[in-house]
Structure 1
Amino acid sequence: MAQDRIPQQDRATAEGVEPDPDAQVVRTPREIRIVLSGLLIAMLLAMLDNMIVGTAMPTIVGDLGGVNHLSWVVTSYILATTASTPIWGKLGDLYGRKGIFMASIVIFLAGSALSGISQNMNELIGSRAIQGLGAGGLIVGVMSIMGALVPPRERGKYQGMFAAVMAVAMIGGPLVGGTITDHLNWHWIFFINLPLGALALVVIAITLHLPKRRSKAKIDYLGAALLTVGIVALVLVTTWGGQTYTWGSWQIAGTLALAAVALAGFFQVEQRVAQRGEEPVLPLHVFRDRNFSLVCGLGFVVGFVMFGAITFLPLYQQSVQGASATNSGLLLMPMMLGMLVVSLVVGQAVTRTGRYKIYPVVGTLVMTAGMLLLSQLDVHTSRTTSALFMVVLGAGMGFLMQITMLVAQNSVPLRDIGVASSSSTFFRSIGGSFGVSLFGALFSSRVTSTMAQRLGASGSQAVDGHAQLSPAMLGRLPAPVRDAYDHAVAGGVHSIFLWGALFSVAGIVVAVFLEEVPLRATPGAAAETAGAVQSAVAAEA
């Protein structure tokens, strides 16, 4: 039938879905690049922050005390970012992306300023939560604005820039954090956000021109509250599980039950939200699109495998290969370079051909190969060999990181592109949280058991409760204990990457079932083809 040959997003427009006004203005490449500069600065702010803070945490604890609350400095940021992501996406769709995006920058900067002037650990934790709330809007805002300004067919030209930002954040973050902490003081790791954020605000205010909109829709506050509770509970489970509490404890079981009840209530509320004349915070109809649901699942697998596994690479390189902790960001440079090069090549190929299905399939295969190679790391692996293995993993990431967002945005009507962006980001973040938690528990168990096998009960007590020793502690270990610990870390890393390879096979299966839906060629393609679609449907009828 003629209708079946029409892309799903265009059919939605023909069936009466209001097109997105932000996407109706065609912009020149020069205009897009100018706007892109402000977007990239904002994205760098959100991604760089955690990398900088991690390096300065020992100094912060030494100054403010409160070591028992140390983990909450990171957890509060992650909770606020993840829980706010879906809401930011919907607000942008309803009330205009420019204003909502600029509001998120202001909130992020306010949280940064408050973090910088914090005088105790409780103030810092609360300020980091405010900062995370703004960061959720930064990440979603960048992706959704790009989705509105640049059609999917042309977006590959620019996706390498986002990969470059990620590389700069992961490599430069620890270096910048260490330098600021050593030569100024830890307060400046937050204050440095202020001039960058102000610059991003000015650039966005001057260069980003989007049609004004006035939505009379009522926000589904009950659904938003239930979704937030469910997300927070899920993140707490992944944060506490195997670390603060055992997986079988009542605290984990209770939090998991709360997440299940809240999310079940959310789905019930969303199914009836139209009857109340409200706008759903996460429209369930977008999941009826096969590609959208599959790519969200693929994002979860990618986040689970990638973030869960690479978290432990610096630990292996510092503990077993004797690398410096200060330069930990540089240790990941081979992986970042592999991701950057492949992302640039894939982006150009998608723009030239308009085809994309092959890349998620190849990406998951290469990612699996990278995981298998890294599972071969042991105490004798050279830095050159491990770097080559990381290049393979980075190449797999390069095939996947931007393509998953591209497919998600291309699978929904233009008016829901904020929801698509936030959903893709959300599932990847949740996958990463679960991966870090589960792989962390697996790593700790393997390290402890290996130490016990090599040294007996005294060996397991050497890493009891954390399974991770600081460089200073490693230097004080007797030679037999240090040797046992090196083998234990190598064994733990082997287990993590081997399981990561097995989980990534699920990503291959999901990628195979993606459909090749034509990419929109212009921002207003859906609107322009609406009349043609309606004529085709009428003729078929």
Structure 2
Amino acid sequence: MSAPTTTRADQTAMTHREIMEALSGLLLVLFVAMASSTIVSTALPKIIGDLNGSQTQYTWVVTATLLTATASTPIWGKLSDLYSKKMLVQISIVVFVLGSLIAGFTQNTEQLIAARAFQGLGMGGVQALVQVAIAAMIPPRERGRYNGYLGGVMALATVGGPLLGGLIVDTDALGWRWCFFIGAPLAVIALVVLQKTLHLPVMRRDNVKIDYLGASLIAAGVSVILVWVSFVDSTFAWMSWETFAMVGGGLVLLALAVWVESRVSEPVVPLQIVRQRTTALAIIGSLAVGMAMFGGSVFLGQYFQIGRGYSPTQAGLLMIPMMIGILISSTIAGRMITKSGLIKPYIVAGTITLVVGFAGLSMLDHDTSLWYVGASMALVGIGVGMSMQNLVLAVQNTVSLKDIGAASSTIAFFRSLGGTIGVSVLGAVLARRVSESMTEQLAAAGASGGSSEGVSVLNLSSLPEAVQHMVRAAYGDATGHIFLISAAVAVIGVIAAIAMKPAKLRSTVDIGTPPVAVEKEPVLAK
């Protein structure tokens, strides 16, 4: 195998102005992808209601995107170690926007799930490649301050997205389909800015093969288990041949994936990196944070609309405390990390705050004070802001530049996996508790059946007023239970953060390069 033709150590160091110019394109790309996704999160109850979908389909509209994003993330990361990072970012954003446009024209929930799955391929690329590009430009010690900008953009997209989604859904002249269409012009602007501002060295290696088999086995194994989670105890029993077939088949596929990854020359999830203490613990922490990120945005939006009766716009406004928490904590923590060079204390504090926030949300019902809900959401946001990006940074600090793509995408992979599993499991639990609650309430009211035949319970406007009240109570009371599960999972993230080895962030882009390369004026390449 031939050596890379270029490395970052061979390049002229970037000034702060050059970094900010390049970041403008990268952050705009990230904003487009995240905003396109969060716009949909607030509108989803209305979308699924109009398409007459079920709670399981509601969950799978989200899960399908996360699943394909999870499966594709390590492939994007590995490709970035071999080919142009800039070109790959551009390709991923185009794929994401195409998926969004296709989703806008769908006519039923099945088509929407398929379109969102395609959209997830681009999302996986954006998630991994923005982190990889930033790591190729900025040394870990300095990256803390720039992570503040990253957190700010993510918070803006997460705050602005639900608000914009709510406004679109509540505007008769537009309708929910524009939640998907609106990202296209922003993406075109992002691509133009990216073309002009992002200039990174290309590291090419000959005779390198991408491990598509390993990635396919991982995706298949996770998919089978998530399908089982969605249907067990409703379509078939826990102790049934379907359960044994799906769980057993999923575990066999994942075991084969590990076997393949241990033998190929270029694995998509490098086991030698995963086995390192910092990476392994960061993976565990990322699983917990992933559940926080995606579970919070998906089910809180539904709680406000279905459980409390607020409009999509109002639901977006009510989500602001969590987003403000992310913005403030990521910015302040990033600057303090750059100043001190220490990262573990902030990750530990963030994961503990996450547990406290979820514990607060576990007390929700359909009458909980909005002040209490907002305070708990703010704590969740602070926890996510202090831990999410810093878990990636902790791993990037331990690997050389040639492995930065694989390492970054591995963490993004497991974070997305945590979100995928979290949304699927929490959605399945929510659906079952809502079903049980509705059955009990209908029986108490002397009714023998549910809502009007053929009408989804999420389509509240088509239900009798008495049934609407039952649905709101069922969803409002069931939401607290799923956040109790989230709090329990987040405790594992705290344990992982405490077990991480304390380390100072290095002040060089690559391991072994002199600090002067980034802390002084640009040095001319020899």
Give 1:383's match in structure 2, choosing from 351, 355, 370. Answer: 370
- Cα distance change, pair 48–450 in 1 and its aligned pair in 2 (3 A): same
For 1:193, the equivalent position in structure 2 comes to 183
- Asked if residue 293 in structure 1 is aligned to residue 280 in structure 2, the reply is yes
1:338 paired with 2:325, answer: yes
1:40 aligns with 2:40: no
Q: CA deviation at 1:431?
A: 1.5
1:397-421 Cα distance to aligned partner (Å, 9 max, x none): 2221211111122232221111222
Q: Which residue of 2 aligns with 1:535?
A: none
The question of 1:161 aligning with 2:149 is answered yes
Structure 2 counterpart of 1:476, from 452, 465, 472: 465
Give the equivalent residue in structure 1 for 2:512: 526
The alpha-carbon deviation at position 476 of structure 1 amounts to: 0.8
Is 1:206 equivalent to 2:196 in the alignment?
A: yes
The CA deviation at 1:345 is 0.9
* 1:143 alignment partner, one of 115, 131, 136: 131
CA shift, 1:113, in A, is 4.2
How do 1:397-476 and structure 2 match up within 5 A?
A: 397-450=384-437, 456=443, 458=446, 461-462=449-450, 469-472=458-461, 476=465
Deviation (angstroms), 1:357: 0.9
1:175 and 1:326 in contact (8 A); partners too: yes
Aligned in 2, Cα 1:128/1:515: closer, same or farther, shift over 3 Å? Answer: same
Could you tell me whether the CA contact under 8 Å between 1:309 and 1:496 is conserved in 2?
no
Counterpart CA distance in 2 for 1:225 and 1:380 is 45
Q: Is the 8 A contact 2:347 2:386 kept in 1?
A: yes
Cα separation, 2, equivalents of 1:150 and 1:368: 31
Equivalent residues of 2:82, 2:202 under 8 A apart? no
Shift of 1:375: 2.6
Quick check: 1:515 aligned with 2:501?
yes
What secondary structure sits across from 1:527 in the alignment?
coil
Q: Quick check: 2:66–2:420 contact (8 Å CA) kept in 1?
A: no
Partner residue, 2:523: none
Letter in 2 for 1:223: G
Shift of residue 474, structure 1, vs aligned partner: 7.2
SS at match of 2:512: helix
State how far apart, in whole Å, the 2-side matches of 1:125 and 1:245 are: 22
TM-score normalised to the size of structure 2? 0.84
Q: Name the amino acid aligned to 1:326.
A: T
Q: Which structure 2 residues correspond to residues 59-458 of structure 1 after superposition, within 5 A?
A: 74-116=62-104, 126-180=114-168, 182-216=172-206, 217-240=208-231, 250-251=241-242, 253-274=244-265, 279-308=266-295, 311-319=298-306, 321-450=308-437, 456=443, 458=446
What CA RMSD, in Å, does the superposition of the two structures yield over aligned residues?
Answer: 3.5
With over 3 angstroms needed to count, the CA separation of the structure-2 counterparts of 1:460 and 1:517, relative to structure 1, is: farther
Quote the offset at 1:230 in angstroms: 2.5
Q: Is the 8 A contact 2:25 2:198 kept in 1?
A: no
Aligned AA (1:137): G
CA distance, structure 2, for counterparts of residue 499 and residue 74 of structure 1: 19
Aligned-partner Cα distance in 1 for 2:497–2:447: 44
Note the C-alpha offset of 1:61.
7.1
More helix by share: 1
SS state at 1:411 partner: coil
Q: TM-score, normalised by structure 1?
A: 0.82
Contact 1:451/1:460, CA 8 A, preserved across alignment: no
The 3 A distance-change label for structure 1 pair 231 and 434 is closer
State the one-letter code of the partner of 2:268: V
Report the CA distance shift for 1:93/1:122 in structure 2 as closer, same or farther (over 3 A): same
Separation in 2, partners of 1:79, 1:402: 21
Cα distance between partner residues in 2 of 1:351 and 1:238: 42
Structure 2 Cα separation of the partners of residues 178 and 202 of structure 1: 28
Quick check: 2:69–2:122 contact (8 Å CA) kept in 1? yes
Displacement of 1:451 in angstroms is 5.3
Which residue, 458, 462, 480 being the options, matches 1:494?
Answer: 480
* Structure 1 alignment gaps of length 5 or more: 1-15, 530-541
Q: Kindly provide the amino acid, as one letter, of the partner of residue 149 in structure 2.
A: M
Between 1:258-267 and 1:329-338, the stretch displaced more is 258-267
Aligned partner of 2:27: which letter? L
2:394 partner letter = V
Q: Whole-Å Cα distance in 2 between the matches of residues 226 and 247 of structure 1? A: 24
Structure 2: 5+ residue runs without aligned partners? Answer: 516-526
User: What per-residue deviation string (whole Å, max 9, x for no partner) do you get for residues 112-152 of structure 1?
Assistant: 44445567777655544332212211111111111111111
Percent sequence identity is: 42
Return the alpha-carbon distance in structure 2 between the equivalents of residues 120 and 475 of structure 1.
24
C-alpha change, 1:397 and 1:78, in structure 2 (3 Å) is: closer
Distance in 1 separating the partners of 2:305 and 2:128: 34
Quickly say closer, same or farther: Cα 1:451–1:191, change in 2 above 3 A: closer
**Does the 8 Å CA contact 1:448/1:463 hold for their aligned counterparts?**
no
Asked whether the 8 Å contact 1:46–1:135 carries over to 2, the reply is yes
Deviation string, structure 1 residues 428-463 (Cα, Å, up to 9, x no partner):
222222222333333344445455666646579548
CA contact (8 A) 2:365 2:478 kept: no
Query: How far, CA to CA, are the matches of 2:382 and 2:505 in structure 1?
Result: 24
Quickly say closer, same or farther: Cα 1:268–1:104, change in 2 above 3 A: same
Q: 1:104 to 1:454 in 2, by over 3 A?
A: closer
Tell whether the 8 Å contact from 2:141 to 2:505 is kept in structure 1 after alignment: yes
Give the secondary structure class of the aligned counterpart of 1:219. coil
Which amino acid in the other structure matches residue 521 of structure 1?
S
Q: CA deviation at 1:381?
A: 2.8
Residue 353 (structure 1) shift: 0.2
Residue number in structure 2 paired with 1:539: none
**Alignment correspondent of 1:532:** none
1:395 and 1:467 map into 2 onto residues whose CA distance is 36
Shift of 1:248: 5.1
Measure the CA separation in 2 of the matches of 1:525 and 1:138. Answer: 25
Query: Residue type of the partner of 2:125?
Result: G
Give distance in 1, aligned partners of 2:288 and 2:359: 16
Deviations 1:185-215 (A, max 9, x none): 5554333322222222222222111123321
CA distance, structure 2, for counterparts of residue 62 and residue 357 of structure 1: 44
Q: Is the 8 A contact 1:235 1:430 kept in 2?
A: no
Contact 1:242/1:441 (CA < 8 Å) preserved in 2?
Answer: no
After superposition, give the CA deviation of every residue in 1:66-120 in whole Å (9 maximum; x if it has no partner).
Answer: 8589656545433322211111111111223122222212322333444455677
**Contact kept? 1:93, 1:417, Cα under 8 Å:** yes
| Cα drift, residue 501 of structure 1 | 2.5
Structure 1 residue aligned with 2:518: none
Q: Partner amino acid for 1:345?
A: I
Give the whole-Å Cα distance in 2 for the aligned partners of 1:106 and 1:392: 35
CA distance in 2, matches of 1:305, 1:120: 29
SS at 1:183 equivalent = coil
